[in-house]
Every structure is written in structure tokens, then in C-alpha cells.
Structure 1
Amino acid sequence: MTDTVTAIPTRGADVPAKLARLHELLDARGVESLALTGRESLAWLLDGARVTVPLGGDPVLSAIVRRDGVELHILRNENDRLLAEELPDLASLGIRARTVAWFDTLPGTRADDGAADLREAQVAAELRALRARLLPGELARYRALGSDLATALTDVLAGAGAATRERDLTADLARALIALGAEPVVLLVAGEGRLDLRHPLPTDAPIGRRAMTVVGARRNGLIVNLTRWLGDEPGSAAVARRLLEVEADAFAATRPGRRLADVLADIAASYERHGFDRDEWLRHHQGGPTGYAGRDPKAGPATGDLVVDGQAYAWNPTTARQKIEDTVVVAGGRVEVLTVDERWPTVDVRGLARPDALPLA
């Protein structure tokens, strides 16, 4: 099993470009300061620092962004660890750090605390847009995580057999992710008896002749999402090929400047064109941009966010007993799949190698 963590670029190199984007936001809003209090925005600004304890908890710091620099407010019991292990060289980046008593509220988290002119919730869409285009360090870290995660999944799934329990397979996946320095965000496993479920939390059931695994993992703030299949059943290969055509239509529709709602409309129409029920897209979400959130945002019929060149996506077309998902970057009219392990079997779909099912051991 793979335990090696791929080397990543030193944190901090992209921070000046992120501060420049934030200053443009301040200018556009005509204000002097902005409070960042959400996990996604803080991890983005700080080049992937782990900003929450526990993993799904609230951030243990806040950031007040001003034109002359950034002031971090860190809970006292987290301060030493963050400064020593998580944060880049703050002084050289114009970032100052202050401690806050562990029982106090972090500045910027309350509407009435006066810590900044704008609170994060007031500019959520603008902040998503600032995060959208990946910077060089982010892209390098994302590629490394995608490769590491795909390799780890191959290692784990290649050892599974029909008698393997869903929970045991999930535990093996979790161990592999943590060994890579990644945090599990989503871990779903369904054996052949539960494949009709779109979000199958694992049970004690054996996986049988066919299984689906869905994994989301975070490292350096960035989240990789992918789905892989083991084994087969009558008709599964043919359905998978048609669903891959829906995914190919999703990639083709993801063009810079388009509204996510319009991309989703193209995906929805694609189902019927490839032989599925016209309402199939209503039975499960279809994914959307990814990065510092699993979906940033999840694409819906009213989502007005625009596709940005150089942005990461995780579309996931689904139908009964079938689902497709990888993390890709769409840039310059090209789709780069980040979650690739050359050992995994693939099929060609419009010139792009896409994952096939792995035979059961």
C-alpha cells in the first residue's frame, strides 16, 4: 500500500497574487476591510493551511484583510501549532498574527463586532470567483494530490474481493488517505446489493460481484473527488459507456464565461440524447466546480457563477447503478484529468482516457 507523500511546493508563493485579488474586491466594493471567517477562504488565502479542529469544525482563526496587509486572529490554544506548522512566513507577506482567548469570539464572525467593513457572507459569490482560477502553486499541489489519491485507490481496491465488507473497504481507504497526509471528506462504498443508492454510506454487507467507491480527500486545503468501480454485472458496461458520453458533453459545455446554470442545462439535456430518462438529472446533483470546497458551488438551475479558465471541476453524471466522477482542470479548451493512475483500466471517450471497472480480485 502506498504511504509516500508527494513533495509539494513551499507555501506562500501564491499569497501575493491572492492579496491582489482581495484588494480588487475591496476597490470594487468601495470599502477598506473584509473579514474572512470561512474554512474555504482562510485555507485559500493561507495556501492550504489546516484551519479547523476537528476536521469538520469551525475555523480556529479569522483574517481581517486591509489594504496595508492582513491581521490574523488565532485562538490561543491553537496559536503555537499554526505558526510553527501551518502558516507561511507571515512577516514577509504583510500578515500579522494576534492571539485571542480560547473562550472569546473570533473577530469578524459576528455582524455587530465592527471588525471589518464587510463580512464574508456578504461577498460569498465574489470570493468563490477569486478562488476559481488556480495559481501555479495550487495547480502543482492539486496535481500531486490527484495522482497520489488515484494511486492509493488502485492499491486498496486491487486487494478487494467479493467477500470484502463495505466497512472494511472503507477503513482501508481511510487509512490510505491519512497515510498520504490527506483528510477524508467523503467515503462511500456500495456493494452489488446497494448500488441503487446514490450516496451509500458503508454497511457490514459484503461487496459481492460489483461495487462502487466514492472518495473525497483534502490536502493543503484542496479537495479531490473521484468515483471508481469494481467488478461488473449484466449490462453495466453498456450503461457506463452511455454515461461517459453525458460526462463528455459536460466537459464540452464547461466553457469560460458561461453561467453554471447554462452548463447544467446542457448536461440535463444530454441524458435523453444518450438514451436515459429525460428527468434522470433530477435524481442526483451533477457536481460542479471544486477546489477548497467539495463543490464550489454545486451547480443548480439558478447558479449564476461563471466558468473560469483554469478552474477545477468534478462533474458526476449518475443513473441507476452507475456513476462517473473525476477531478479535472479545464484550461485553454483542454480537459486535464488530475485523478489518474496508469494502472487503472480505461476506455477512450472522444480522445480522453476515462476509467473503466477494475476486475475483482
Structure 2
Amino acid sequence: MTQTTAAAVPQQEARLAPGSPGDRAIKRRRVLDILDDAGRDSLLLTTNTALTWYLDGSRVHISLAGDPIAALLVARDGDHLVTFNNEAGRIAAEELPLGVNLHTVPWYANLHQAAATVGNGALPPLSEAEVAAELRAARQQLLPAESARYALLSADVAGIMTEVLSAARPDTTEFALVSALAARVVAAGAEPLVLLCNGSSRSTFRHPLATHAPLGRRAMAVVCARRDGLVANITRWIRFDAGTPGERDAEARIAAVEADIFDATVPGTRLDRIFTEIQAAYVRHGFGADQWEQHHQGGPAGYAGRDPRVTSEATDTVVLDQAFTWNPSGPGVKIEDTVQLTESGLHILTVDPRWPVATVNGLARPVTLQL
């Protein structure tokens, strides 16, 4: 195994190192606190969520569907990133934060085994699974620089939705719409993790992968896009007529369900308690007691699409500066934005002022764009 260090990078390149040194120092302190509580000397990070969080947005993947091409040992003597020899050049030049030691192994080596051996601890490193709840808690409160990056990504994605969906026509196919969205997301320097679309002929599907079907009179599009490790999630609807009274009524009621969820999203509240409120909100607004079973309801957001999905088993506690994407849905309706809980209340991140809105419980919420 060979080793280099970010400290050896020339100053011109060092200024281009990703992330915020100030944020990274806080994240390291949070992980060291986990080690202190566990009485251990190191922690091995292996998932994309944990790696991109700790490295403050470094890209440690090649295939979006594959495992990371790096593993990181957070040890008391420093941070040690291990990657394959054929990946090391790009990692060193473009993705290695200052102060992180880079180790390389042959492309055919066992990455995790190699990373577990670079530290000096007497005990094997902790695995992510052993401290999953603690790591989620460490990721919850977004720091200033990552909050700024998240807001910028979210605004970019919202703008892309407005521009692409505004140009749609009834004969536009679902594939044509999502391909246009994908092109714009990639051009913005982000990765399209999820692209969904249903036209009026497929409006019953809540996770509608695109087909060659035309949009027809009404359509939904969903984008989950990642940049700097952070994932922005958004759903928008368009239609080419005035809509039916039933559709307009359901759209208003699902926004009311979301408003109740927003009201429940306050510091100190456990996720399982919010989940109980979600179930009650569906009944309160006329959707029936089983609607929460038809689609996941969202949850905390950030370095994963949901971190975690809210269920009756999720006991994480809400904190200030935490991001969320709630996504209540009913037959033919869904509402979804990425938001952040601040001292002044919920701040909607996925906003484009060009998209039509209605005020719901004091917040501007997207309505269906009529074309």
C-alpha cells in the first residue's frame, strides 16, 4: 500500500480542494466524540452517504449504482482515505480535502480490509453499522457551508423543473421529459439519482419510471439530484386544461396534509411521533387511514435521499438546521420539496419564483402549473 497526503499538494491545487476546512473540523470532532463514547480508536466509513458527508462533498463513486471506490478510516492519528490505484490520480487532484492522507491499493485488492489496517489502534475499527444512529445524528445539523451548497443546488433543481416542464406539450413523451431533465441536471454539475414521470394515462403509479407514453392532459415529474454529496428532492405537476373539481380538491387537501407535517417538524420531536401525526393528517383531510401505506412518507434529507425514512421505528430527534423532504401522496396527487428547519421556521429550499404557488398555513407551496 502506498501513501500520499493532501499536505503535499502544491498550493495552487490545494486552493481547489473540496469542502470547507471549518466544517470538516467540526465533523471530525463529532466522529471523535462517537469514538470516545464507544471507547474505540477508529471508525471505518464505507458508504456513499457517510463518505460524502465526512469528506464534505468529495465524489467517491464511478457508477451511480455501484459501491464507493474509496473507504476512509477516521482514527485518532488522522484521516486515512484508501482507494484503488487506478482512481488515485483523480482523487488526489480533485477530491482529496486538505489534511486527509491518501493510501492506494491495487484495483483488485479488498478495499475495506485494506482501509481497516492503516490505523494504529489496538482494536479493529468500528463499522458504520455499529454506530448507525450516532452517525445519523452527526449528519443531522447542517453546517454553514454545506447549508449554502444545499440551498444553491435546490434552487438550481427547482429552476430546471420550471424551465423543462414549461416547455412540455401533451404529446411530449415521458421519456422525452425526463431526458430533458437529466440533461439539465448534469449540465448543472449534479447527478440525477431519481427521475420519474407519469402522464395522465399512468397517474395511479406513485413511483412511475418513464415510458414512451405521451403526457396527455396532466403529468407529474420527480427529480432527486446530488451535488457535493447533498441530495435535493422535488416533485412538480403540470396540466394542459383546467383540471377536474376532484383533482383540484385533492391537490388542496394533500397540501393541507403536508402543512400538518410541517407543523409537527419542530426541534426536539422524535420521528416516530411525526409519523403518528402523518397518519392522523391523512384521515383529517379526507384521504383515508390507509394512504400512508401506499408510499413512503419521506423524512430527514441531506447526504441521502432520506436519512432515514420516517416509520414507527424511527426514534431520531429533530434538530435545528436539519433538512427534510416530506412527500405525502394520495390517488393522483403528491407534494414534495426539500426544506430546512431554521430558527425562524421551515425554509423551503427547492424554490423557483417563476412557479405558481398558493399560501398554505403561511408558506408558499407549489400548485399545478397550467399550460
* TM-score of the two chains, using structure 1 as the length reference: 0.93
Map 1:1-361 to 2 at 5 A.
Answer: 11-13=19-21, 14-90=23-99, 95-108=100-113, 116-231=124-239, 233-234=243-244, 235-332=246-343, 334-360=345-371
SS in 1 for 2:112: coil
Kept in 2: contact 1:64–1:116 (CA 8 A): no
Q: Report the number of matched residues.
A: 349
SS in 1 for 2:256: helix
Q: Which runs of 5+ in 2 are unaligned?
A: 1-15
Kindly provide the amino acid, as one letter, of the partner of residue 186 in structure 1: V
Kept in 2: contact 1:167–1:202 (CA 8 A): yes
Kindly provide the amino acid, as one letter, of the partner of residue 220 in structure 1: D
Could you report, residue by residue, the CA deviation over 1:179-226 in whole angstroms, capped at 9, with x for unpaired residues?
A: 000000110000001111110010110001100001100000000001
How many Å separate the matches in 2 of 1:184 and 1:327? 15
How many Å separate the matches in 2 of 1:251 and 1:239? 18
Kept in 1: contact 2:357–2:365 (CA 8 A): yes
Kept in 1: contact 2:324–2:338 (CA 8 A): yes
Kept in 1: contact 2:82–2:115 (CA 8 A): no
How many Å separate the matches in 1 of 2:178 and 2:276? 34
Could you report, residue by residue, the CA deviation over 1:156-198 in whole angstroms, capped at 9, with x for unpaired residues?
A: 1110000000000010000010000000011000000111111
Kept in 2: contact 1:288–1:314 (CA 8 A): yes
How many Å separate the matches in 2 of 1:87 and 1:149? 26
Kept in 2: contact 1:37–1:108 (CA 8 A): no
Task: Tell me which residue corresponds to 1:4.
Answer: none
Kindly provide the amino acid, as one letter, of the partner of residue 46 in structure 1: L
Could you report, residue by residue, the CA deviation over 1:83-131 in whole angstroms, capped at 9, with x for unpaired residues?
A: 11122223xxxx2111111100113589999984311111111111101
Sequence identity (%): 48
How many Å separate the matches in 2 of 1:250 and 1:348? 16
How many Å separate the matches in 2 of 1:298 and 1:230? 27
Kept in 2: contact 1:64–1:108 (CA 8 A): no
Q: 1:251 to 1:316 in 2, by over 3 A?
A: same
Kept in 1: contact 2:232–2:338 (CA 8 A): yes
Kindly provide the amino acid, as one letter, of the partner of residue 344 in structure 1: W
Kept in 1: contact 2:17–2:98 (CA 8 A): no
How many Å separate the matches in 2 of 1:309 and 1:72? 30
Deviation at 1:333, TM superposition (A): 5.4
Kept in 2: contact 1:9–1:137 (CA 8 A): no
How many Å separate the matches in 1 of 2:321 and 2:203? 34
Deviation at 1:332, TM superposition (A): 2.0
How many Å separate the matches in 2 of 1:169 and 1:117? 46
How many Å separate the matches in 2 of 1:112 and 1:62? 12
Q: RMSD value over aligned CA atoms? A: 1.9
Kept in 2: contact 1:166–1:205 (CA 8 A): yes
How many Å separate the matches in 2 of 1:189 and 1:109? 42
* TM-score of the two chains, using structure 2 as the length reference: 0.91
How many Å separate the matches in 2 of 1:345 and 1:274? 23
Deviates more, 1:67-76 or 1:114-123: 114-123
Kept in 2: contact 1:51–1:59 (CA 8 A): yes
Q: Which runs of 5+ in 1 are unaligned?
A: 1-7
Kept in 2: contact 1:40–1:221 (CA 8 A): yes
